[in-house]
Structures are given as structure tokens and as C-alpha cells.
Amino acid sequence: MNEEEYFQALIALHQGLERQGPGDKEFSRQILSNLEGLPENPQIADMGCGAGAGTLLLAEKFRTNIRAVDFSRDFLDELDVRAKQEELDQFIETIECDMGKINWAPKSVDLLWSEGAAYILTFGGALKAWRPLMADNGIAVISELSYFTDKAPEPLKEYMKKMYPTIKSESGNAEVAKALHFEVVDILRLPSRSWWTYYYDPLKENIESQKGSKDPTMQVVIDETEKEMQLFEKYAEFYGYSFYILKAK
């Protein structure tokens, strides 16, 4: 199994879903309505947007141009279709590229949004890549899998060592952000119920329909995903997605 086959199986398993990672529209709307200090018509980007769960909310809220970046054309095509359906397409520009290698003008983003995607570059790697894009006092809202405790149970630590070796506590990530010239405005935890309602439960239906697949890579991805769900069922009080609200300083 090579990396490309793995990503293709992962994309296929998430096809047609409203979201490709844990999140919650109402929770995000709440965050957006509490942001302070943005200019009148903010320049906005959604990094690793997938099929656009966040992008559509940003367009609905700000009704201004949103640059939606992902390296999967399949997900961006889904976003284009949904944007048309919701009559938000005039605000959304889908950009197929590597979010770690963006060559936009420095200081050209007032609001950078990224849900469930920064880990691909590592939290620190993502902040480092995106910091030069941020306008002075620009806001970044980035979700990242984080420990809620310094005393995570051993089986959870073992799993993370293998599957998510860069996971840190919220205070650890806050230190990373500060060192990269962001002020930490707030850290908000996505409720564990939202993981199931808006991500895992719909994903379970896709898993069922792919279970008969003869593709061995798909079987690996299904197996990993089911293990991930079992882990979350058992240990959700110790880790989860934290949304880091950061200001470029």
C-alpha cells in the first residue's frame, strides 16, 4: 500500500459526507459570532477545506470571497456543487493545491479557518507555513486533536504514539502558537457528542457500504477508522478537538 492509494481510499470512504472530520455547525457559528477585530470585508481562507463544511459557514456569515484550499479535487467538486445549491457559489473560490506551500502575498489573510487539517503539516508546521499570510492582528481559528489532561491512560498514549505522534496538550499547543508569534485568544473544546452526530454516525454508513470492497487498502482504512471510533468511545474525556483562536501579533 503506498501513500497515494491510502489517501484515495480515505477520500472514497468520506465521499458524499457533509464533513470529513469532527465538527459542528452550531459550535462554529458561535465561534464566528464572537470573533472581534476583523475588518469590514475580511480576506478569508479555509485550509484543508474538504467538501467545505467550514467554507459554507464562512460564506453564509461574511458574504465575501472565501479561498477554499484542498489538494483533493473530488472534495472541492463536492464543495462547488453544495455552494451552488446553497446559492453561495459567488463567494467561494476553490483552489486545488498543497496548503503547506501557498504563495499568496504576505499579510493577505484576515481570517484563516482550518478544521481537522493542520495536523497533516503538524500544528506547529501549519502555523509556521500560514503565519506569513496573516494580516497584522489577523485571526486564525484552527482545530487540532489535543490532550485534555497530562495524565492520559496508557492505552490511549500507546495508540497516539503510533497514529498521532505529534499530539500535545492544549497548553503545549498554546506554547507552540506563542513561539510562532500568535496570541492565544481562546481555546474551545468541540463537545464529544458532536463527533458522533455530525461525523462518526454518517461515516459509519459509508463504512457499511464499503465493507464488501475488494480493495485491501480500503479494508486497512476501515479497520483503522473503526479502531479510532472505539478509542474515542472509551477515552473521550481525555482528548478531543480543541479550537485554537489565535491572533497574529
Ligand X SMILES: C[S@@+](CC[C@H](N)C(=O)[O-])C[C@H]1O[C@@H](n2cnc3c(N)ncnc32)[C@H](O)[C@@H]1O
Name the residues that contact ligand X, by CB under 6 A.
19-21, 23, 48-50, 53-54, 69-72, 75, 98-100, 115-117, 120
Query: Which residue, 43 or 55, is less far from ligand X as judged by CB?
Result: 55
Minimum CB separation of residue 89 from ligand X in Å reads: 18
Looking at the Cβ atoms of 154 and 163, the one nearer to ligand X is: 163
The span from the first CA to the last CA of the chain, in angstroms, equals 43
- Judged by beta carbon, residue 42 or residue 50, the one nearer ligand X is 50
Q: What is the 3-state secondary structure (H, E, C) of 45-78?
A: EEECCCCCHHHHHHHHHHCCCEEEEECCHHHHHH
Taking the least distance from each CB to ligand X, the nearer of 73 and 234 is 73
Least gap, CB of 189 to ligand X (angstroms): 16
Nearer to ligand X, 77 or 153 (CB): 77
Q: CA 153 to CA 167: how far, in whole Å?
A: 14
Residue with smallest beta-carbon separation from ligand X = 50
Instruction: For the CB of residue 245, give the shortest distance to ligand X in the complex, in Å.
Output: 16
Q: Which of the 8 DSSP states describes residue 180?
A: T
What is the nearest approach in angstroms of ligand X to the Cβ of residue 98? 4
- Give the shortest CB-175-to-ligand X separation in angstroms: 24
Toward ligand X, which CB reaches closer, 29 or 249?
A: 29
The packing angle between helices 25-34 and 53-62, to 10°, is 40
Which residues contact residue 74 at a Cβ distance below 8 angstroms, ignoring those fewer than 6 apart? 11, 15
For 187-209, give the DSSP string. EEEPPHHHHIIIIIHHHHHHHHH
Q: How far is the CB of 33 from ligand X (least distance, A)?
A: 19
Grid cell, residue 187, equals 481555546
| Structure letter (DSSP) for residue 87 | T
